[in-house]
Amino acid sequence: MTMKNLNKIQFITFCVFLSVLFGACEKDYFDTQPDNLLSVEKIFTNRGQTERWWAGLFTNVPDIWDQPYGQQYGITTDELDASNWTNPGMNSGAITADGTPSNFVSLYERIRLATIFLERIDGNKEILEQANGAAIIQHYKGEARFLRAYYYWSMMKQLGPVAIAPLVSSSPGDDFQIPRSTWDECVNFVLSEIEKAKFDLPVDYYLDGTTVDGTKIGRINKIIATALESQILLYHASPLFNGNTELADFKNLDGTVLFNQVYDANRWVKAAQKAKEAIDIAETNGKMLYQVVDANPFRAGFLSCRNLYWDGWKTEGIWNRPASGTSGWEIHSSPRSTAGTAYNGIAVVQSLVDEYRMADGKKTTETSTYNENTYTNTATPYYVAGTNTMFTNREPRFYAQVTFNGAVNPGVAKSGTNNSRVEFFASGTSGKSGSPRDWPKTGYTARKNIHPTFSVSPAVNTARPAMLIRLAELYLNYAEALNESNPGHPDILIYLNKIKTRAGLPALAPGFNQTEMRSEIRHERRIELSFEGHRYFDVRRWKIPDLSGSNQGGAFYGMNMDKGSSLSDPAFHQRTISFSRAAWQRKSYFMPYGQNEMDRNKKLVQFPGY
């Protein structure tokens, strides 16, 4: 069998599993099943029906690339803007309990369905009679328990402390008056459930003990479970959740304070230990940072960071979601000069652009080579001659993640003059003058995870999973927790530098104090994990959303989209207020429970400010 045919077979197998695990959930199975005792009993005596129920439990696993209309964390933080099309209430401060953006209702639904599954799956004789039937049921139970805990964790990230339902299926006559558990109780509950799930989960799903089964992409295993534990413990140790006296007024009706008021330094120790455990189990089972080998170190860094999202998920991906809306992300992010005319509107804010380092690793403020008033005469594989020098000589990730005026088109360009380059100036091919809405307010668009063969017409979309958790995140979790618990530990630089050198940047040398290293780690999270759903939660858990450089409200800057008649026109290359958002409010740390839930559950308290 040729390698080409083998790859084709593997891809077809991947697509079949994708359709079973996620595609079948698009038309929600539970929407068509009468929810009564008789139907449930019948479902759990039939293998096919039971496995459809099991597949439906994955429905609320998020697709991080379903932007801007699905996942909206990127466009409500200091990363992105899509306000020509959609502007969530978080940006205007207009969120109310009647219009909460939280998906807590659907999460509770999945939690309940997971509970029913756990209660009934052991009785399915059709599955038990299969070869290895007991192990199949064991793995299903581990996944259901994990997903139930994960959905609680997803709610906690949105809402803070939540009301935890009894771990038995309910009936209409049950008492649903349940107060919020404290944050610490919620964390202990979720971690306990994940630990129980791990007893029923394999380390990974293998064909022969060493070869990973490619048809099991997205299935939950111990590697994924341990990685999620790392994320939970990192959050739990962070300032928002660890001795946060600012939220002493957030109490249940009986006076119980919902956030602990005493800082616990040992939480950082536990977070570091768990992150290292997650790294070790992942690497022992074949995970590693994805890297491209190239004679040119800069090119190697660029290709490693660009191609990671379609070639590197097998290597670096810890939790991969098999189905992903990358085609929607690509068409909304790509410039109009793309073949078939893309939508050209997921804009990158200037403050993030400024965070990318120079090629030598220095900040733009630390070198005389950074200049916003001159233009290069030299073309490169990343930009054309005439490009402003503020965009030249930057680190490889900049060219893999941000599209700017003068950049080479990220996908397949239209035929015709100047379409191989990107023109964001007013009269340019992707400028404001050429479309009423399809232009980026800041003069930059997101480039990360746009495949170089992407085209709108003819439609060319390269199918690929979405990495919900990847090894680089675990490295950053470990570096952050270790810097807080044991500053100066050599592993901090070792793991931070693994990410920097993969990206084509020089390694950091020893000599940073704890505060300086904290800044470096936070910077690295902002760049390495950009657009992947982390920044929204990071600025909150660090309690920095109102600080300069991480402000979530106020004015946001970009280039002057109203000006410019040529690529090198200085009128376009002027920092200008591109849009403004409401000033930061304390209530924006969390979303509100919906008013309908508040009306039903009289023991539930709302987060202060809503």
Whole-angstrom Cα distance, residue 248 to residue 251?
Answer: 7
pLDDT digits (tens, 9 = 90+) for 171-199: 878 888 999 999 999 999 999 999 999 99
H and E: helices and strands count for the chain: 20, 8
The two tokens of residue 13 are 């197998």
Contacts 24+ apart (CB under 8 A), 228-231: 228/146, 228/150, 228/153, 228/194, 228/319, 228/469, 229/191, 229/194, 229/195, 229/274, 229/278, 230/271, 230/274, 230/275, 230/277, 230/278, 230/474, 230/477, 230/478, 231/469, 231/473, 231/477
Helix/strand/coil percentages in the chain, nearest 5: 45, 5, 50
Residue 7 scores a pLDDT above 50: no
Q: What is the mean pLDDT of residues 228-245?
A: 98
Q: Are 165 and 178 in contact (CB under 8 A)?
A: yes
Residue 296 scores a pLDDT above 70: yes
- Residue 20's pLDDT is 46
Residue 327 scores a pLDDT above 80: yes
Q: What is the mean pLDDT of residues 364-391?
A: 97
pLDDT, the chain, mean: 94
List the beta bridge partners of residue 348: 80
Query: Could you tell me the pLDDT band of residue 279, with boundaries at 50, 70 and 90?
Result: very high
Amino acid at 12: I
Residue 422 scores a pLDDT above 60: yes
- Residue 315's pLDDT is 96
Whole-angstrom Cα distance, residue 110 to residue 56?
Answer: 8
Alpha carbon of residue 14 to chain centroid: 22
pTM: 0.94
Residue 252 scores a pLDDT above 50: yes
Query: Could you tell me the pLDDT band of residue 270, with boundaries at 50, 70 and 90?
Result: very high
Q: Are 388 and 432 in contact (CB under 8 A)?
A: no
Cβ neighbors of 300 (< 8 A, separation 6 or more) are 291, 292, 293, 294, 504
pLDDT digits (tens, 9 = 90+) for 68-125: 999 999 999 999 999 999 999 999 999 999 999 999 999 999 999 999 999 999 999 9
Residue 353 scores a pLDDT above 60: yes
